[in-house]
Amino acid sequence: MPSLLIYLGIGVLLGGAGLGIEFDNPEITQSLGMAALVMILAEGGLTTRWESVRPALGPGIALSTVAIAITVLVAGTALHWLLDLDWQVALLWGAVLASTDAAAVFSMLRGSGINRRLSGTLELESGLNDAPAYIAVVLLAGGAAVDWALPLQVVYQLGAGAAIGLALGWLGAQALRRIALPATGLYPLATVAVCVVAYSGGQLAQASGLLATYLAGLVLGNANLPHRGDTRSFAEGIGWIAQIGLFVLLGLFASPERLVGGIVPGLVAGVVVLVLARPVSVLVSMLPFRLPWREQVFLSWAGLRGAVPIVLATIPLAQGVPGAERLLDAVFVIVIVFTLVQGALLSPVARVLGLSSPSEPEEIEVDAAPLDELGAVLLQIAIPSGSRLHGVYLRELRLPSGSGVSLIVRDGRSFTPDTRARLQTGDRLLIVTTSQARSAAERRIRAVDRAGPLAKWKGESGD
């Protein structure tokens, strides 16, 4: 994440304070920022493993809905008194700062050594909570009347957005399994395109396009699609391009002269969110799940803010809401200061709380290429460092009927193995399996990767 702040600085240097490029159009900034956010959420959904977030489904949903509402109310109330803001503007500040940033969370958590349940909770929260935060900002910036219809409107937008995302993700997966595209490189493009269509469909239905995008990506990323590894790599590349472009754009839009005036309100608002609003929202929303206090402390600390609050802050600015410039300047300060502080201390805090597992091995990747005429699939696997597959004999792998290891590539040399062959870290395996046995073969490979050849007796199913 600090590297992304460098791109924010590059944008500032390209602007009026540096090379003199004048860019002060909030409407264009908002439009381009939303486009980048769609790509970031699509990448987040496509690269999130369902088995990692499934145990965290309840806490993740609670943090992305209940916690958002509590953060808006607590932060808004505190800032109303501390910064002498009008109630509507104070709640608007709370809504802008309520969302944890998908780009910040995804980039900081991967490789951090945090246990899978916590990282799954935070990934799911950051992917889902942009939608309710965006809805809250739009309603407050537009001066929506608070009456009995408002909760129904919010429920419709979230419910319809979720339904559209899940439906289009499922339909896209069915189509991509059955359609033979003329080039391998078209599969990643088509997959990302489905996520973009989900956003458009959600917006056309007056629902949450952001939620539809993330859920469509989540469905597609966990479906048995051809060239899944290539698709994930492509999505990660698109996500990085979107993040870099977004931070450069926001830096270009920033005004260094105004940022000086945003230091005090920004620090005040950041401290309120970090030490009051976020902990209270975590405490209340996690009550049904009885999480240990250490995990709740870490969840409170890990509410990273990145580009999303800045994008959300351009909405009231584009609509001419009084005081919107002050909000935008303060958000810039919050993102720069608190991202550096929270991001740098994320892993140390996890270690102090006993929640980090630095030695946890990297999850094995299984890529697949269809062999349509044979009714089979070719699986490609690289054994990472720390995998329990290291040292396993092929006879111990016990793949399901209809599956078999056809080739091993080791140190640049290929050979056809027999049952006495022993797997090693760094090996690349080619496994041919029937379409019917593919899912069982992938589950068995993941199970042995996690728990060794006795995975079944240890209760590891590979899901």
Closest CA to 362 of 339, 340, 348, 381: 381
The pTM of the whole model exceeds 0.95? no
Closest CA to 438 of 267, 234, 223, 143: 223
CA distance 136 to 401: 53
Average pLDDT over residues 256-270: 88
CA distance 208 to 202: 5
Q: Is the pLDDT of residue 54 over 60?
A: yes
pLDDT of residue 318: 87
In tens, the pLDDT along 236-249 reads 899 889 988 888 88
Closest CA to 225 of 56, 442, 66, 13: 442
Domains observed in the chain: 2-352 (1.20.1530.20), 365-451 (3.30.70.1450)
Write the Ramachandran bin of 294: left for phi over 0, alpha for psi from -120 to 50, otherwise beta.
alpha
pLDDT of residue 372: 59
Place of tokens 């407050």: 140
Q: Is the pLDDT of residue 311 over 70?
A: yes
In tens, the pLDDT along 92-149 reads 999 999 988 766 665 666 555 677 778 888 888 988 998 999 999 998 888 766 666 7
Contact criterion met (CB below 8 Å) for 229 and 380: yes
Strand order in the sheet with 365-371: 365-371, 376-382, 428-434, 403-410, 413-415
CB atoms within 10 A of CB 459: 8
**Cα separation of the two ends of the chain:** 31
Q: Is 184 exposed, middle or buried (0-12, 13-18, 19+ CB in 10 A)?
A: exposed
CB atoms within 10 A of CB 460: 18
